[in-house]
Structure 1
Amino acid sequence: MTRKFSMLRVHASIVSLIYITLVSILCATVPSEATRWKNPPVRNSRMNRFHDGELMDHGMAVNMTRMIGGDHVLRNDLFSTINRRRLASCSTLYPYVAIKTDAVGALADVQVVTVTVSGVNNPSARDWIGVMSPSNASSDICPNSAALYLQTGDTSALPLTCHYPVKFKFLESDPGYVPCSNPTCQQMVAGVCVIQTCSGSVSFRLINIRTDLTFVFFSGGLTSPCVITATAPLSFANPKSPLSAHIAAVDSTGTQMRVTWVSGSNIPQLVAYTGGTATSIITTFSPAQMCSQVANPAQDFGWHDPGYIHTAVLTGLTPSTSYSYYFGSAEAGWSKSTNFSTPPAVGASSVRAVIYGDMGKAERDNSTIHYSEPGSITVVDALAKRNDYDLIFHNGDISYATGFLVEWDSFLELITPIASKVAYMTTIGNHERNFPDGVSVYTKWDSGGECGVPYETYFPMPTPGRDKPWYSYASGPIHFTIMSTEHNWTAGSEQYNWLQADLAAVNRTVTPWIIFMGHRPAYSTYTAALDVLLGAPVDPNFPPQIEPLLLNGKVDFAVWGHVHNYERTCAVYNGTCLGLPTKDSAGFDTYNNAAYKAPVHAVIGTAGFVLSDPPTNNLPPWSLVRVKDYGYGYIQGDITHLNVQFVSATTGGVGDQFSFTR
């Protein structure tokens, strides 16, 4: 009897395999209209990229928006027609399947939810659970999604669904799933189980992204995903919650600070702080403000409603002082109270700053997302344990959302423990701005269609204007000049002229030190295969344009990102060392800038993205130190000394240290 039923199971498996093969073929060939999801209304019928009136029309050849049932629904018709394919139903292969969660009621702002799938008769290592939001987002298969992932530089395997999942996990992460360690008998014959099924569970850490969500069970892997079943929609208890505050300096006085946060409410909210209150100004962005010449993730399967971005300026503050604050409203709810510190005012005797680039985000629940940056959690957690810095500079490649807009929420939530405490100043990078839209300096696809809009909305800096993301800021004895390597930097351009004037105007009696920052480096020894996708680390046209500015302005220290390791140079100009540091008995390097020679350059692109191996052979004389480790630059400046360390976030040790004197 047992032998007969064993043979029956074998035959059933063969039949199932044939059926799965047929279904997979159908999944790739049967077309249909994909499920659509509603987007926020487009504020202007023109393709205005920036909502403050700077309109940039692109003369689209296809209809990018159309009205359906009175709502504005973003759509690139040509792209959708070619790309979208309907999934054949796989549910008949799983007559006993069920899915459930342990969530009770609406979701909190942060909540871990365990999802259990049971009744699976053919468990596979290719089975996965995706978090889809909104809950009516399309789970159809879209083969061309692979190209849209790749254009941002992400070469990992990701789901080819028509709407990007917030995150996902393979069920094999439950060690009992594939081997069916805890089988359930579904049918008995003469006391013998003839049909048994398997189960598995995975847990997700969810944050409040305002829109409802559902957990979808897929078979067929990532390239041919078939929907087996899904949970009922889950909503957040308060989609209007004020969340993810970060602080920025408004000017160099230390008497004003900007607080920016996200909420699902478009009604003005308050910041209540020690000594006063401030009312928020509200903004947001729509799909029509993204890049619009060609199909891109930000306008299509990567779009997610950003809610409303609130920003308020706190005034009447005292430099180098701690303040308590909370924000929100009676209508949306209130945040918890926390503290921030104002930075030292310009001309103060000392300041301490952290500098890094290329952070991004990763998931604390080990789920998979597009462009996961594994070191980001390590760096944030290391900095959260310190309280000995006055401000942070994030030098480009901020979130790596690159058109998958829900990941901005993930990034903002990740940095809250540090960005809500001190001024978090930013630089635009290639993954915020670049796209072949005729506006970017570099016409790669790095931003996934964002073209700087989410970045400038989430991180308002003291710049000259919209889409002019260069500025300067001073604290203590240091003047910081920040450029955009993604906007025109050639001689005579608006940015070039501004940089030249800014450096010329620095009062070296008040701020004896100048630190210059931009994302793409002027010096790096690194090369990689991804250069084909993202371009060479150093644009050969860049140093001849920028180096004369730095030399004439007597910039002490130039800091870059973009390359995912740490590297320090001599005092270098035009590829030639003009000055070497002196070493003490402990090997500590000192540059004597009383006899200024040229800037010292450092690449610090070590805050999260997968690290790059620095070369070890045929090194140019100007490359003095190279480190492969997650970490950050830590700077202490006073009137006579500028001390710099590269600190490992993994060990807390110092990977490099040097000093400038004058």
Structure 2
Amino acid sequence: MKFLNVITAAAGLVIQVAAQINIPGSVPENKVEPLQHRLAYAGPTGMTVSWNTFGSIKEPTVFYGEDPWNLDSKATGSSRTFETSPTWAHHVKITGLKPDTTYYYTVSNTNCYGCHELSAYTFKTSRPVGDYTPYSIGVVIDMGVMGPYGESVESDYPTITDEDSNTMQSLSRYVDGFDLLLHPGDLAYADTWLTEWGQGYLNISFDEGVEWYNRLLNQYYDELQPVTSVRPYMVAPGNHESNCDEGGTTINGTTYDLSICPEAQRNFTSYINHFSMPGEESGGVGNFWYSFDHGMVHYVAINTETDLGNGLIGEDDVDGPEDMHSGPFGSYENEQIDWLEKDLASVNRTLTPWIVVYGHRPWYASGKNVSNTICWNCKLAFEPLLLKYEVDIVFYGHIHMYERNAPMRDGVADPNELNNPSAPLYILNGAGGHYHGLSEYQDPINSYSRYLQNSTFGWSKLTFHNCTHLTHEFIASANGSILDTATLYRNHTCSGESTSSGTGTSNVSIVSSTIPSAAVETTNGAAALSAPVFIGGLLAVLAMIF
């Protein structure tokens, strides 16, 4: 009985400790408590570890190692903030790592309740070029804050029931099934505070808008931490990163424009400060355009919001679409396009057969209001190079639905369809989910559309089986079901080097890419206590009691 009482007391203390963990969007008592851990590849042997705190840190530090009980290496970095931000973003780049290796890490001021090692997170470095080992990635676009201040069961279209997962929960549940997560644009939708306020959904005063913009951002990053703390989160800019008000909103006859945003909430300021993408490592520009390799795939992030080059869209080339008054971010007009050609031309396709390009705005889609949603200038800027260098697949969003189109060449579907086409396969997946719900599509849909749905939120899973085959799946966030699947064959000529497991590429069969059944789902709007932190806290409490 005495032992049972001790265990009960220990459990009570652990519950009390758990209750002190930061609730998404709230300010912790300890202002330097590390929050919003996120990872990003930093070259073939590097990883950038980033996190936020509500207080400043003199020297942001990451402790890491291959042994969770011996984090014997450390690296230091720098911090960023901006005028209206309540938090500091810390970025530490770790270099000289082994490829395809799991590391454990903690950051400055980690409170592991008496057991440093058991509170460590993990990351895995990228596979070397020429490694044809199969793997999967996740792709999500247009995903906003979930819970009482964003997407909820009160939304009209589609409806999320109490039994459904939202997209953040679904990604957390299946995080073991993908190596990294791409998110090309529209992160958090913090700038929809104005729309939500105007529609009576967000019960605040107009004067609180500056504060709520930051609250929604922090809530989003807190909620996504179960994914971003253990998987590289590779982002690209969307229109909702540009400023604080969606580029202009009319409510009850009053039109609000960029003038309501303080300077610090304009021109992608929060996006620039929060992330650290490998622009420097790939010769690109910061978080706006960059590339990286992971095994048999070369990934390229493009910026569809500014810097389209060649004077294609006049003043908007500098201003950004929809009067966002953003950019340019390149040092000269054509820098992004010149960089893209150089980057694509540099890929050795016998070692890195696949090329994936991701950006925010689409140019092939069946959405309504085509003049406002289709980026024809993006097509003019990017498509010639995607065709010239035989890019395999393109992801974009912006229109809030899912549509798989045929491989396309200048508006015409490739007659080979998925059997060794000469043009990229285009996947539009703007169905991540947020306050606005999903979009309508034009009827009849475009002749090149092969599968379209706007009835459920979801994300993409892309599996590279070998040198010549990949499979794309659209995953319903609500229950993890696969609503659409397509396997693309490209007749790549590969080096014939063996995979890390010693299996020759010519005999590699298509691996199953079904969603793993074992999963843990976090509760919507509640703090998720990671297993390492929970175990560390429990052991520490038991040690104190005994």
Relative to the length of structure 2, the TM-score reads: 0.66
The question of 1:650 aligning with 2:491 is answered no
**8 A Cα contact 2:145 2:151, kept in partner:** no
**Following superposition of structure 1 onto structure 2, how do residues 614-633 of structure 1 map, counting pairs within 5 Å?**
614-615=440-441, 617-628=443-454, 629-633=456-460
**8 A Cα contact 2:461 2:472, kept in partner:** yes
Query: 2:335 maps to which residue?
Result: 494
Residues 370 and 568 of structure 1: is their aligned pair in 2 closer, same or farther, counting only changes over 3 Å?
closer
The question of 1:388 aligning with 2:177 is answered yes
Q: Deviations over 1:47-72 (max 9, x none)?
A: xxxxxxxxxxxxxxxxxxxxxxxxxx
Residues 641 and 268 of structure 1: is their aligned pair in 2 closer, same or farther, counting only changes over 3 Å?
same
Structure 2 counterpart of 1:618, which letter? P
Query: 2:216 maps to which residue?
Result: 407
**Following superposition of structure 1 onto structure 2, how do residues 456-471 of structure 1 map, counting pairs within 5 Å?**
456-464=272-280, 469-471=288-290
Q: Deviations over 1:209-228 (max 9, x none)?
A: 54xxxxxxxxxxxxxxxxxx
Q: CA deviation at 1:580?
A: 4.6
Worse-superposed segment, 319-328 or 647-656: 319-328
**Following superposition of structure 1 onto structure 2, how do residues 209-608 of structure 1 map, counting pairs within 5 Å?**
209-210=26-27, 236-251=28-43, 253=44, 255-263=45-53, 264-275=55-66, 276-287=72-83, 303-306=84-87, 308-329=88-109, 336-350=119-133, 351-363=135-147, 367-368=148-149, 378-386=166-174, 387-402=176-191, 404-433=213-242, 445=258, 449-464=265-280, 469-491=288-310, 493-528=334-369, 536-581=372-417, 591-593=418-420, 596-608=421-433
**8 A Cα contact 1:435 1:451, kept in partner:** no
Structure 2 counterpart of 1:282, which letter? S
Residues 613 and 431 of structure 1: is their aligned pair in 2 closer, same or farther, counting only changes over 3 Å?
closer
Query: 2:515 maps to which residue?
Result: none
Q: Over aligned residue pairs, what C-alpha RMSD do you find?
A: 3.4
**8 A Cα contact 2:25 2:215, kept in partner:** no
- Secondary structure at the aligned position of 2:139 is classed as strand
Structure 2 counterpart of 1:279, which letter? A
Residues 520 and 616 of structure 1: is their aligned pair in 2 closer, same or farther, counting only changes over 3 Å?
closer
- Secondary structure at the aligned position of 1:509 is classed as coil
Q: CA deviation at 1:660?
A: 1.7
**8 A Cα contact 1:361 1:377, kept in partner:** no
Structure 2 counterpart of 1:389, which letter? F
Q: CA deviation at 1:434?
A: 5.5
Residues 471 and 555 of structure 1: is their aligned pair in 2 closer, same or farther, counting only changes over 3 Å?
same
Residues 607 and 502 of structure 1: is their aligned pair in 2 closer, same or farther, counting only changes over 3 Å?
same
- Secondary structure at the aligned position of 1:311 is classed as strand
**8 A Cα contact 2:64 2:106, kept in partner:** yes
Q: CA deviation at 1:369?
A: 5.4
**8 A Cα contact 1:513 1:642, kept in partner:** no
Residues 310 and 304 of structure 1: is their aligned pair in 2 closer, same or farther, counting only changes over 3 Å?
closer
Q: CA deviation at 1:601?
A: 0.9
Worse-superposed segment, 452-461 or 426-435: 426-435
Task: Provide the C-alpha distance between the structure 1 equivalents of 2:383 and 2:244, rounded to a whole number of angstroms.
Answer: 26
Q: Deviations over 1:211-264 (max 9, x none)?
A: xxxxxxxxxxxxxxxxxxxxxxxxx4311211221111001x2x3211101121
Query: Relative to total residues, which structure has the larger helix share, 1 or 2?
Result: 2
**8 A Cα contact 1:342 1:422, kept in partner:** no
**8 A Cα contact 1:248 1:425, kept in partner:** yes
Query: Relative to total residues, which structure has the larger strand share, 1 or 2?
Result: 1
Q: Deviations over 1:149-183 (max 9, x none)?
A: xxxxxxxxxxxxxxxxxxxxxxxxxxxxxxxxxxx
Residues 615 and 207 of structure 1: is their aligned pair in 2 closer, same or farther, counting only changes over 3 Å?
closer
Q: CA deviation at 1:482?
A: 0.9
Runs of at least 5 residues in structure 1 that lack an aligned partner in the other structure = 1-106, 113-204, 211-235, 288-302, 582-590
Q: CA deviation at 1:266?
A: 2.2
Q: CA deviation at 1:370?
A: 9.8
Q: Deviations over 1:478-529 (max 9, x none)?
A: 111110001121336111111111112211111111111110111111125x
**8 A Cα contact 2:165 2:479, kept in partner:** no
**8 A Cα contact 1:273 1:324, kept in partner:** yes
Task: Provide the C-alpha distance between the structure 1 equivalents of 2:271 and 2:169, rounded to a whole number of angstroms.
Answer: 23
Task: Provide the C-alpha distance between the structure 2 equivalents of 1:282 and 1:548, rounded to a whole number of angstroms.
Answer: 39
Structure 2 counterpart of 1:522, which letter? W
Q: Deviations over 1:263-294 (max 9, x none)?
A: 2132213222225433332322223xxxxxxx
- Secondary structure at the aligned position of 2:166 is classed as helix
Structure 1 counterpart of 2:360, which letter? H
- Secondary structure at the aligned position of 1:498 is classed as helix
- Secondary structure at the aligned position of 1:500 is classed as helix
Q: CA deviation at 1:579?
A: 2.5
Q: CA deviation at 1:352?
A: 1.5
Q: Deviations over 1:537-569 (max 9, x none)?
A: 113333233221111111111110111111111
Q: Report how many residues are paired.
A: 398
Q: CA deviation at 1:360?
A: 1.8
Structure 2 counterpart of 1:489, which letter? L
Task: Provide the C-alpha distance between the structure 1 equivalents of 2:299 and 2:19, rounded to a whole number of angstroms.
Answer: 36
Structure 2 counterpart of 1:478, which letter? V
Residues 427 and 446 of structure 1: is their aligned pair in 2 closer, same or farther, counting only changes over 3 Å?
farther
Q: CA deviation at 1:337?
A: 2.0
Query: 1:155 maps to which residue?
Result: none
Task: Provide the C-alpha distance between the structure 1 equivalents of 2:63 and 2:184, rounded to a whole number of angstroms.
Answer: 30
Q: CA deviation at 1:651?
A: 2.2
- Secondary structure at the aligned position of 1:384 is classed as helix
Q: CA deviation at 1:331?
A: 10
**8 A Cα contact 2:475 2:483, kept in partner:** yes
Task: Provide the C-alpha distance between the structure 2 equivalents of 1:427 and 1:521, rounded to a whole number of angstroms.
Answer: 14
Task: Provide the C-alpha distance between the structure 1 equivalents of 2:29 and 2:18, rounded to a whole number of angstroms.
Answer: 8
Task: Provide the C-alpha distance between the structure 1 equivalents of 2:112 and 2:488, rounded to a whole number of angstroms.
Answer: 50
Task: Provide the C-alpha distance between the structure 1 equivalents of 2:462 and 2:120, rounded to a whole number of angstroms.
Answer: 29
Q: CA deviation at 1:415?
A: 0.8
Task: Provide the C-alpha distance between the structure 2 equivalents of 1:447 and 1:640, rounded to a whole number of angstroms.
Answer: 51
**8 A Cα contact 1:614 1:627, kept in partner:** no
Task: Provide the C-alpha distance between the structure 2 equivalents of 1:207 and 1:566, rounded to a whole number of angstroms.
Answer: 28
Structure 1 counterpart of 2:168, which letter? V
Q: Which of the two has higher C-alpha Rg?
A: 1
Task: Provide the C-alpha distance between the structure 2 equivalents of 1:500 and 1:446, rounded to a whole number of angstroms.
Answer: 37
**8 A Cα contact 1:344 1:390, kept in partner:** no
Task: Provide the C-alpha distance between the structure 1 equivalents of 2:377 and 2:25, rounded to a whole number of angstroms.
Answer: 44
Identity over aligned residues, as a percent?
A: 27
